[in-house]
């Protein structure tokens, strides 16, 4: 089973950027962790990151070839109707993940355009959130 992990803007800076909020795990090591959690779950995990909204939308259009998607859209979560429409158009389940607890932060982060069209949402658990999303995707997609 194949899973697609998509990370949006500024997540390439993980480990350097606002470490008190996002922790010290780098993007490269998050990718390594996702691959290794995936192999424990018998999942082939493909990770992609882009700072560009249109690129994330193009990748969501390709996501039909995967069993499910784990999506951390970064700030686009709170702004992008276009990303929401791309998620809504997809028949495979999408799990929204945020490293930080967006509800404990600024009010503009409390609203997500994506949550209503996602299968589930995990936030505030750091990299563990990706692991839990992979686990959930695997469990739900096997049914
Ligand atoms: C984030 C939360 C967003 O509000 C923020 O813009 C990000 C990262 C998270 O993983 O906690 O870039 O998605």
pLDDT digits (tens, 9 = 90+) for 69-95: 999 999 999 999 999 999 999 999 999
Ligand 1 geometric centre to CA of 78 (Å): 9
**Residue 143 pLDDT exceeds 70:** no
**Residue 22 is among the residues annotated as catalytic for this protein:** yes
CATH number of the domain bearing residue 122: 3.40.50.9100
Measure the CA–CA gap between 23 and 38, rounded to whole angstroms: 22
Question: How many domains is the chain built from?
Answer: 1
| Alpha carbon nearest to ligand 1 atom 6, residue | 75
Q: Is the full-model pTM beyond 0.85?
A: yes
pLDDT digits (tens, 9 = 90+) for 113-141: 999 999 999 999 999 999 999 999 999 98
pLDDT digits (tens, 9 = 90+) for 29-76: 999 999 999 999 999 999 999 999 999 999 999 999 999 999 999 999
Domain enclosing residue 67, as ranges: 2-142
Using CA atoms of 61, 136, 116, 70 in order, give the dihedral in degrees to the nearest 10. -40
Ligand 1 geometric centre to CA of 36 (Å): 23
**Ligand 1, residues at Cβ distance < 6 Å:** 10, 72, 74-75, 77, 98-100, 102, 109
């Amino acid at each position: 089973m194949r899973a697609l992990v998509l990370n949006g803007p500024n997540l390439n800076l993980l480990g350097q950027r606002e470490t008190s909020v996002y922790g010290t795990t780098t993007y490269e090591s998050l990718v390594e962790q996702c691959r290794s959690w995936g192999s424990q779950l018998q999942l082939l995990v493909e990770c992609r990151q882009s700072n560009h909204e249109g690129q994330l939308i193009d990748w969501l259009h390709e996501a039909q070839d995967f069993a499910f998607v784990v999506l951390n859209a970064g700030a686009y979560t709170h702004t992008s109707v276009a990303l929401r429409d791309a998620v809504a158009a997809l028949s495979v389940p999408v799990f929204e993940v945020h490293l930080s607890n967006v509800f404990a932060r600024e009010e503009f982060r409390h609203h997500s355009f994506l949550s209503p069209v996602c299968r589930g949402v995990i936030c505030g658990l750091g990299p563990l959130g990706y692991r839990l999303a992979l686990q959930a995707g695997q469990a739900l997609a096997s049914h």
